Amino acid sequence: MALPSSGNLTLGMIAQELGLSANARLDLGDTRVRALAGKPTGRIEMSDLYGKSNVKLSATINCGYLAEYNDGKVITPERRGYAIAEFNMAAIGSMSPASLAGYGFLTVMEESSAAYESTSYFTIRMNGHVPVDLFTRAIVVNVREFAAKNGVHSSFTNASGAVQNCTVWSWPLAINARGQIFPTSGARTLQLL
């Protein structure tokens, strides 16, 4: 999304672009408004905000698919979307660009398990311990918007068997309803704001 490049522009529209409600208390001197306008200091006018967008990343995910399987020790949930290779699991899909402000993505996926009907999630995982408030909203365009939440610092075992730090954002989905966010193939657009 972006603010209009001309015509009517209101503080309510600016608030929504920032991920706030249209009736949120906001003024032009607010640091979030200044950051959006690209004017940290000095006089700021509504015209400074024409055409501005709060989107930090817009990426295309070419969806991959990995069916649920049981290796005799653990049941691995079905995965759809993009994921790097992990311990005993293959990489799926691709994402372009695959970084935000220099941080690499490890997964952007939907996970669900028939064996554990309570586990269905949309997850974004980034390489390293990045700021937990790096973005305020995640949007899978024309599919679903996920509200702001802080990430959690965590770790996982990579394909080489080494433990790797990561930051994870995860949202619950409707129970055991596969394909809510990503198909088994095809493309989706992810926006982080």
Q: Which of 78, 82, 3, 85 is nearest to 46 (CA)?
A: 3
The sign of the dihedral angle between the CA atoms of 150, 156, 160, 162 is positive
d(CA 72, CA 59): 36
d(CA 150, CA 170): 9
pTM: 0.76
Q: Which of 125, 64, 111 is nearest to 92 (CA)?
A: 64
Pairing of strands 187-192, 75-76: unpaired
Span 154-168, mean pLDDT? 87
pLDDT digits 0-9 by tens, 93-104? 999 998 887 888
pLDDT digits 0-9 by tens, 64-88? 999 887 777 767 788 999 998 876 6
Span 177-185, mean pLDDT? 88
What is the model's pLDDT at position 176?
Answer: 65
Q: Is the pLDDT of residue 180 over 70?
A: yes
Span 153-160, mean pLDDT? 86
pLDDT digits 0-9 by tens, 9-68? 999 999 888 877 888 899 999 888 988 888 888 999 999 999 888 888 889 999 999 988
Q: Give the chain's mean pLDDT.
A: 87
Span 125-131, mean pLDDT? 91
What is the model's pLDDT at position 186?
Answer: 95
Q: Which of 126, 131, 167, 137 is nearest to 53 (CA)?
A: 137
Span 122-137, mean pLDDT? 89
